[in-house]
Amino acid sequence: MSRVASLPSLYEETRRGLVAEPKEIPAVWLYDDRGSQLYEKVTRLPAYYLPRREAEILGERAAHIARRTGARTLLELGAGSVRNTRFLLDALADAGTIERFIPLDVSEAALQTSGQAIAAAYPGVVVEPIVGDFERDVGSLPGRGPRLVAFLGSTVGNLGPDRRATLFGALAAELVEDDWLLLGVDLVKEVSRIEAAYDDHTGVTEAFVRNALTAVNRELDATFEQRRFVYEPHWDPVERWMDIGLRALAAHSVSVQGLDLAVSFAKDERLRVEISAKFRRGQVEGELRRAGLRAESWSTDPHGDFAVVLARPES
C-alpha cells in the first residue's frame, strides 16, 4: 500500500477555513478510520438514497461502460468500501480487460479492508491501494491505459464550484486520449427528501459529522468541545447544496495548538464541516466541458434521483 504525503496542505487549508467567514474545516477530516466506519452506516440508512440509486444505474450500465472504455486499469477516487465499484469490476472482468485496480482514499484502514476483499474476489486483478486525498493527489495517477477513473457517490458534491473546476482541470490534464472519467452526481429534487438524507433520527449522521471535531482535536491538538455545538444541517436554496455543520450554543474560544491558532466563536455562529451540492445535467456537462472533458453519456435511475456520467478528454 503506497501513501501520498499531503498533510501540510491539509493543515494550511484547515487554518484558512478556521479564519474564514463562514468558518469551516475541510471535509477530509470526516474520513479518518472511525469516520469511514460511520459513513458506511450512513450509506445504509433508509433515507440516504444516494448509493442505492447509483447502484441501480451501475447495475444497468456497467457492461456498456466496460465495453466502451476497455479499461485495463480502474482507479477510484475516495474509494471507501468500494461497494458500487464491484459493478464495474465485474463488468470489466467479464469483458476480459481489467488488469489493475487502484483505490485512493484518506483512510488506510478502509483501504486495507476493501483492498483485501477485492484481491480475494478478483484473483486475476492486481490491487494497489493508495492512501491519499483526491483533491491534492490526482496529478500523477498510475496505471496502464486505457484507464477508467471512477469518482462515485456524488462525492464531487462536497466541493464548491471553484474546487470542482480545479479538480476537473487536474483530471483533464492527467487523462490521455484513451482514458475515461466516470462521475456519480446527486440531482436536484424535493428539498424534504434531500434534508432527510442528512438528518436521520438515529443520530448516525450527526455522529459522523461530529467525528470531524474529534479528528481535528487528535491530530492538531485542538480543544473543540462537542457539548458547545449543536448539529444543524440546512438546505441552501441559492447554492443548491446542503450546508452540513454545527452551531455554537454560546460564545467561546477554541485553541488549535498544532496551527498556533486561537479561534473565537460567537453565540449561534456556524462551523461548516461539509457541503453536499445537488446538480442539474446542463450544469455538470458545462463544468466538465470548461475543464476540457466531454460528457459522452448521461444515465439516471428510474426515479431521476441520481446520474452517472461517462466522460473523456476533449480530442
For 217-255, what is each residue's pLDDT tens digit? 999 999 999 999 999 999 999 999 999 999 999 999 999
pTM for this one?
0.91
**pLDDT number for residue 16:** 96
The whole-angstrom separation of Cα 96 and Cα 114 is 22
Identity of the residue numbered 113: T
Q: What percent of the chain has pLDDT over 70?
A: 97
Residue 3 has pLDDT above 60, yes or no: no
**pLDDT number for residue 171:** 94
pLDDT tens-digit readout, 302-311: 999 999 999 9
**pLDDT number for residue 159:** 94
Greatest mean pLDDT among 124-128, 129-133, 286-290 lies in 286-290
CATH of 50-190+278-313, one of 3.90.180.10, 3.40.630.10, 3.40.1110.10, 3.40.50.150: 3.40.50.150
Q: What percent of the chain has pLDDT over 90?
A: 82
More confident residue, 310 or 7: 310
**pLDDT number for residue 7:** 66
Q: In the structure grid, which three cell numbers stand for residue 270, read together?
A: 456556524
| Cα separations in angstroms, 81 against 27, 40, 304, 308 | 18, 8, 25, 18
pLDDT tens-digit readout, 15-26: 999 999 999 999
Chain centroid to Cα 42, Å, comes to: 14
3-state secondary structure the chain: CEECCCHHHHHHHHHHHHCCCCEECCHHHHHCHHHHHHHHHHCCCCCCCHHHHHHHHHHHHHHHHHHHHCCCEEEEECCCCCCCHHHHHHHHHHHCCCCEEEEEECCHHHHHHHHHHHHHHCCCCEECCEECCCCCCHHHCCCCCCEEEEECCCHHHHCCHHHHHHHHHHHHHHCCCCCEEEEEEEECCCHHHHHHCCCCCCCHHHHHHHHHHHHHHHHHCECCCHHHEEECCEEECCCCEEEEEEEECCCEEEEEHHHCEEEEECCCCEEEEEEEECECHHHHHHHHHHHCEEEEEEEECCCCCEEEEEEEECC
The whole-angstrom separation of Cα 93 and Cα 108 is 26
Looking at residues 123-139, what average pLDDT do you find? 82
Residue 5 has pLDDT above 50, yes or no: no
- Phi, psi at residue 158, to the nearest 5°? -75, -5
CB atoms within 10 A of CB 296: 13
**Minimum mean pLDDT range among 67-71, 114-118, 155-159:** 114-118
**pLDDT number for residue 141:** 76
Mean pLDDT in the chain? 93
Among candidates 256, 194, 265, 201, which has minimal Cα distance to 229?
A: 265
